[in-house]
């Protein structure tokens, strides 16, 4: 047997990163150049394929990810292209998937694993919290776990019970995990590539209602930038984005709430109010700088999240901004979040999820002196 699969290029391995990188440029396939309408699903799929081209230690596995290409088709075609050794179905067992990935990462691989749905990742919680998050710490960095746990999350697809959950706060609360969540198609590509390159474990939360969102994106260009290392670092790691500039108040959102925040800002503009929208992108590490810069400028803020507000990422954001921007604030920071109830049935979802009107109401409440 020839050495078909080698150790991870950066962590726990000994193969130089350059070898892996070199292969990446060869991978640029013959797709159309220039911006094209691309779905989030396609961007994620391309990121996986490109990462697998670039580094033979990148492995993809989970439930139905092989022949079927995943229930959301994010792994479509990977088995056909890379073979059953690199993209394969496991027995139905989430703890098994994560635990096996831990062992593979210990032994030189870069596993990218899929949890089929947010609420079905819970059997793996012990592995994630007790090992994925702690291995680096317990071994003082000797054993790194360069692995990515992809989780489709959030609502908006009319999912029946246990198919829609906003579980990001559990992971964000766990020290030792990075938590990324893209809100644009381009970020889907960029952030997944960066997550795979990261020597730290990343919980990669994919807003499932956005899988079919299309943006005009030049995937070839994104690939080139990633390969050259110009977008990475890495730079977007721990960097929030100003999704829409504004002057009067800041809407802080992430993942599935970003499009809702943008729609609210659009509506507010018609009423003559200029709202800035910050897309948090990486919940961990959190970009205090970008968020606070915006709030200091506008003096008002609303945090938006689908998850229950109580003891959540949104409460953390309010606390951080308040601690850092108190003297700049013209009004208490407001939150628009899911209610503190179990995720509701499809027909009740619209009452639960933060919507444009509820956001605008919160903005109206920010003690404007007319």
- Binding part of the chain for other proteins, among 19-27, 204-212, 223-231, 351-359 by CB under 8 A, reads 19-27
> Least separation, in Å, of the C-beta of 124 and other proteins?
10
Does position 352 interact with other proteins (CB under 8 A)? The reply is no
Nearer to other proteins, 79 or 250 (CB): 79
- Residues marked active site are found at 163
Q: Rounded distance, CA 277 to CA 258, Å?
A: 8
What is the size of the binding site for other proteins (CB under 8 A)? 72
Torsion of CA 66, 68, 69, 70, to 10 degrees: -100
3-class DSSP state of 101: helix
> Least separation, in Å, of the C-beta of 313 and other proteins?
14
> Least separation, in Å, of the C-beta of 55 and other proteins?
7
- Binding part of the chain for other proteins, among 150-158, 173-181, 184-192, 292-300 by CB under 8 A, reads 173-181
Pairing of the two strands 178-180 and 148-153: unpaired
Nearer to other proteins, 180 or 352 (CB): 180
Q: Rounded distance, CA 86 to CA 75, Å?
A: 11
Q: Rounded distance, CA 216 to CA 207, Å?
A: 18
- Helical H runs in the chain? 17-27, 40-54, 78-82, 94-106, 125-127, 135-138, 168-172, 185-197, 219-228, 257-270, 288-298, 313-325, 349-352, 356-364
Residue with tokens 């033979």: 56
Pairing of the two strands 249-253 and 301-308: parallel
Does position 315 interact with other proteins (CB under 8 A)? The reply is no
Q: Within positions 177 to 196, which residues make up the interface with other proteins, using CB under 8 A?
A: 178
Q: Within positions 73 to 132, which residues make up the interface with other proteins, using CB under 8 A?
A: 79-86, 88, 90-91, 93, 95-96, 98-109, 111, 123, 126-127, 130-131
Nearer to other proteins, 95 or 274 (CB): 95
Nearer to other proteins, 41 or 135 (CB): 135
Backbone angles phi, psi at 308, to 5 degrees: -55, 145
> Least separation, in Å, of the C-beta of 20 and other proteins?
9
Q: Within positions 264 to 303, which residues make up the interface with other proteins, using CB under 8 A?
A: 284-286, 288-289
> Least separation, in Å, of the C-beta of 320 and other proteins?
9
Q: Rounded distance, CA 221 to CA 228, Å?
A: 11
Residue 22 tokens read as: 């070199």
- Alpha-carbon separation of residue 265 from 33, 101, 209, 291, 364 (angstroms): 32, 41, 20, 17, 12
Does position 205 interact with other proteins (CB under 8 A)? The reply is no
Nearer to other proteins, 19 or 367 (CB): 19
Does position 318 interact with other proteins (CB under 8 A)? The reply is no
> Least separation, in Å, of the C-beta of 17 and other proteins?
14
Nearer to other proteins, 3 or 34 (CB): 3
Q: Within positions 39 to 68, which residues make up the interface with other proteins, using CB under 8 A?
A: 52-56, 59
> Least separation, in Å, of the C-beta of 224 and other proteins?
16
Nearer to other proteins, 19 or 247 (CB): 19
Q: Within positions 129 to 168, which residues make up the interface with other proteins, using CB under 8 A?
A: 130-131, 134-144
Inter-residue contact 338 to 353 (CB < 8 Å): yes
> Least separation, in Å, of the C-beta of 75 and other proteins?
14
Q: Within positions 230 to 259, which residues make up the interface with other proteins, using CB under 8 A?
A: 238
3-class DSSP state of 250: strand
Does position 229 interact with other proteins (CB under 8 A)? The reply is no
H or E segment to which residue 214 belongs:
strand 214-217
Kindly write out the interface string for residues 23-42 of this chain, putting x where it contacts other proteins by CB under 8 A and - elsewhere: x--xx---------------
Residue with tokens 């809702």: 260
The one among 12, 166, 169, 250 contacting other proteins by CB under 8 A: 12
Nearer to other proteins, 39 or 314 (CB): 314
For 24-58, b/e burial (b = at least 16 CB within 10 A) is beeeeeeeeeeeeebbbbbbbbbbbbbbbbbbbbb
């Amino acid at each position: 047997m020839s050495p078909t699969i080698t150790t991870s290029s950066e962590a726990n391995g000994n193969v130089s990163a350059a070898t892996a990188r070199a292969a990446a440029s060869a991978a640029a396939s013959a797709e159309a150049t220039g911006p094209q309408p691309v779905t989030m699903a396609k961007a994620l799929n391309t990121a996986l394929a490109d990462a697998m081209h670039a580094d033979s230690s990148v492995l993809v596995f989970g439930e139905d990810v092989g022949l079927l290409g995943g229930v959301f088709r994010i792994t479509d075609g990977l088995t056909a292209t890379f073979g059953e050794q690199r993209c394969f179905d496991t027995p139905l067992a989430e703890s098994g998937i994560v635990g096996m990935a831990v062992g593979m990462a210990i032994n030189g691989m870069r596993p990218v694993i899929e949890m089929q749905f947010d609420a079905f990742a819970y059997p793996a919680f012990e592995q994630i919290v007790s090992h994925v998050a702690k291995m680096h710490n317990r071994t003082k960095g000797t054993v790194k776990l360069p692995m990515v746990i992809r989780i489709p999350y959030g609502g908006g697809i009319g999912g029946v019970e246990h198919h829609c959950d906003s579980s990001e706060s559990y992971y964000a609360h766990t020290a030792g995990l990075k938590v990324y969540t893209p809100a644009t198609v381009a970020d889907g590509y960029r952030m997944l590539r960066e997550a795979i390159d990261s020597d730290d474990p990343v919980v990669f939360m994919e807003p499932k209602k956005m899988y079919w969102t299309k943006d005009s994106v030049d995937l070839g260009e994104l690939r080139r930038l990633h390969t050259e290392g110009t977008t990475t670092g890495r730079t977007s790691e721990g960097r929030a984005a100003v999704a829409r500039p504004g002057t009067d108040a800041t809407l802080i959102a992430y993942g599935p709430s970003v499009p809702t925040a943008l729609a609210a800002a659009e509506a507010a503009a018609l009423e003559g109010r200029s709202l800035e929208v910050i897309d948090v992108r990486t919940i961990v590490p959190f970009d205090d700088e970008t968020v606070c810069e915006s709030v200091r400028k506008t003096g008002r803020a609303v945090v938006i999240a689908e998850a229950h507000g109580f003891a959540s990422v949104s409460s953390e954001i309010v606390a951080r901004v308040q601690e850092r921007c108190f003297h700049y604030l013209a009004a208490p920071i407001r939150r628009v979040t899911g209610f503190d109830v179990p995720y509701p049935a499809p027909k009740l979802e619209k009452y639960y999820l933060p919507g444009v009107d509820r956001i605008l109401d919160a903005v109206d409440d920010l003690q404007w002196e007319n």
